[in-house]
Amino acid sequence: MLVSNERFKFSPIRGCICPPYAYWSLDQWCEAGRECDEIRRCMLGWDVTDFGSGDFGRIGRTLFTLRNGRSGSDEFPKTYAEKFILDPEGQRAPAHYHRSKREDIIHRGKTGAIVVELTATNSDGSASDKPFRVHVDGMARMIEPREPIRLSPGQSVEIPPRTIHQFWGEEGRGATVSGEVSSVCDDWNDNCFLVPSTRFPEIDEDEPRRHFLCHEYPVLREDLT
């Protein structure tokens, strides 16, 4: 899987411009020192995954994490996170919920629509069949389980912890981009997938890699001694 500048660079027209380190080469990262510890340890940067599905076009994600903290860390005490998420037509993550993360999904594009499906959970983590309350643009409404919420540009929906969710670019409207603003994101411990999934699968590189993903940054030389 190739992560290239041209394929994944966000368009200024959509208002989503990544910081310079998004385009650093492998050599630049190998020379980076302690000043980049927050990027490495809080897993900022590119995140491309098919969750082990083998079907990236349908079950997959391309994200860029702009900021994040580490729970319980004095060195990286941010209590919030922010991401850009590319939303091609129909592509989504597997249905899942978070044990502790609360997030807003925001339509950051200028065209297209994002479809969001939400379901509350029971105490055992299974899907509830009862209506529940959500907040869209800060306004409360009652919805049925998996009732589609359609976000137009600028709109947002809050997803509380333990709420099963999926979202994607609406078919027939073209690719768009969403933003995620949330509490600290811990992709190693906080995700509960309804179907067994691998958050960071091994990638079969079919071309030379141009950039590191957020979980691939090289270890500093002094850490090897």
- pLDDT one-digit tens code per residue, 22-73: 999 999 999 999 999 999 999 999 999 999 999 999 999 999 999 999 988 8
Label residue 180 exposed, middle or buried (CB < 10 Å: 0-12, 13-18, 19+): buried
Q: What is the pLDDT of residues 151-203, one digit of tens each?
A: 999 999 999 999 999 999 999 998 899 999 999 999 999 999 999 999 999 98
Helical residues (DSSP H) of the chain, grouped into ranges = 5-8, 26-31, 37-41
Q: Which two tokens stand for residue 207?
A: 């071309």
pTM: 0.90
